[in-house]
């Protein structure tokens, strides 16, 4: 009788242990199989490719204005006008020059000349003057945009490659003002002067610094590209100008890779 009890007891215990082991095995199997299935599903997920930038693109609807008297030296004003008109702003080059462009006289004799920092103001008078750089132009444009009730903002860029401008803006139908040279001619220093005006809001220049102006400096609106060329709304030509990429990059770099985008 005692022997039967022992056998019965151990049989029950053995069955219980076996059942527990079976449950544990099933649980582990389910976990690892489920994990493998999840990993397999993750491995099978398609990899999302980044959106491809088109190899060529042209922005339509950017007006091309001819640079004429009395705004003979106003390429930045013409570029600004072409850009803003293409974005639906009701304005023209004369309104901008008369009400928003800040001009500061350049004067002197022989090697003793004085004038503004070009990041701060237009150097000279727009009929015959030298020019203005992107920080000041962006500030002038923002004042006009505010007065027009626009929510758009002009941002001065520096050091951004032309190809990057094309990828980030032109391919997204956003034209960009850029500084290069007339007909992509070679620039050279024509005039030096001692800085007597600085707008500290947009420039780090100091009174007494030396400013230089490059002959052939020109401002255009970049509106397109293809594998070999860039396309510009060009106020000097009065039409869309096409310039080879390497040449354009060189002249853009020599004008300190300046640009303005409005969005």
Regarding whether 62 and 18 lie in a shared domain, the answer is: no
pTM (predicted TM-score): 0.80
Q: Which helix (H) or strand (E) holds 196?
A: strand 188-197
Regarding whether 62 and 32 lie in a shared domain, the answer is: no
Domain boundary residue among 48, 67, 82? 48
Regarding whether 134 and 208 lie in a shared domain, the answer is: yes
Q: For position 253, which CATH number holds? A: 3.90.70.10
- The CA-atom distances, in angstroms, between 217 and each of 49, 214, 256 are 41, 6, 11
Regarding whether 44 and 157 lie in a shared domain, the answer is: no
Regarding whether 188 and 87 lie in a shared domain, the answer is: yes
| Residue given tokens 């001619």 in the structure block | 185
Regarding whether 71 and 41 lie in a shared domain, the answer is: no
By residue range, what is the domain housing residue 44? 1-48
Regarding whether 41 and 111 lie in a shared domain, the answer is: no
User: Which residues of the chain fall short of a pLDDT of 70?
Assistant: 1-51
Q: d(Cα 249, Cα 163) in Å, to the nearest integer?
A: 9
pLDDT at 111: 87
Of 56, 53, 59, nearest in space to 176 by CA: 59
Regarding whether 217 and 135 lie in a shared domain, the answer is: yes
Asked, for residue 222, whether it belongs to a domain, the answer is yes
Q: Which helix (H) or strand (E) holds 167?
A: helix 162-168
Asked, for residue 113, whether it belongs to a domain, the answer is yes
pLDDT at 51: 58
Q: Count structural domains, the chain.
A: 2
Q: d(Cα 177, Cα 258) in Å, to the nearest integer?
A: 8
Regarding whether 81 and 108 lie in a shared domain, the answer is: yes
Q: d(Cα 40, Cα 89) in Å, to the nearest integer?
A: 55
| Residue given tokens 């409005």 in the structure block | 262
pLDDT at 117: 98
| Residue given tokens 């956003």 in the structure block | 174
Regarding whether 151 and 241 lie in a shared domain, the answer is: yes
Residue 182: which residues within 8 A CB-CB, separation 6 or more? 216, 217, 218, 236
Burial classification of residue 43, based on how many CB atoms lie within 10 Å of its CB (0-12 exposed, 13-18 middle, 19 or more buried): exposed
Asked, for residue 133, whether it belongs to a domain, the answer is yes
Regarding whether 207 and 92 lie in a shared domain, the answer is: yes
Regarding whether 223 and 157 lie in a shared domain, the answer is: yes
Asked, for residue 135, whether it belongs to a domain, the answer is yes
Are 258 and 134 in contact by the 8 Å Cβ rule? The answer is yes
pLDDT at 34: 46
Asked, for residue 53, whether it belongs to a domain, the answer is no
Q: d(Cα 111, Cα 256) in Å, to the nearest integer?
A: 25
Q: What dihedral angle (degrees, nearest 10) is formed by the CA atoms of 19, 24, 27, 31?
A: -160
């Amino acid at each position: 009788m005692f022997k039967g009890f022992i056998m019965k007891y151990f049989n029950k215990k053995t069955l219980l242990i076996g059942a527990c082991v079976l449950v544990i095995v099933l649980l582990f199997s389910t976990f690892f199989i489920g994990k493998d299935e999840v990993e397999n599903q993750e491995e099978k997920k398609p990899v999302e490719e980044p959106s491809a930038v088109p190899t060529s693109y042209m922005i339509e609807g950017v007006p091309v204005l001819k640079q004429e008297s009395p705004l003979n030296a106003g390429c930045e004003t013409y570029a600004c006008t072409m850009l803003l008109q293409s974005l639906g702003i009701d304005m023209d080059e004369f309104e901008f020059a008369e009400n928003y462009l800040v001009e500061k006289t350049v004067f002197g004799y022989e090697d003793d000349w004085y004038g503004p920092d070009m990041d701060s103001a237009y150097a000279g008078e727009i009929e015959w003057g030298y020019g203005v750089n992107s920080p000041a132009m962006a500030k002038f444009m923002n004042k006009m945009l505010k007065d027009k009730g626009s929510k758009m903002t002009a941002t001065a860029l520096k050091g951004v490659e032309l190809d990057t401008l094309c990828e980030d803006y032109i391919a997204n139908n956003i034209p960009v003002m850029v500084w290069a040279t007339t007909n992509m001619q070679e620039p050279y220093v024509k005039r030096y002067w001692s800085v007597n005006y600085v707008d500290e809001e947009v420039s780090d220049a100091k009174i007494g610094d030396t400013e230089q102006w490059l002959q052939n400096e020109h401002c255009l609106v970049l509106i397109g590209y293809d594998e070999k060329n860039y396309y510009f709304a060009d106020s000097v030509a009065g039409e869309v100008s096409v310039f080879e990429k390497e040449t354009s990059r060189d002249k853009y770099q020599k004008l300190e890779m300046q640009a303005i985008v409005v969005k």
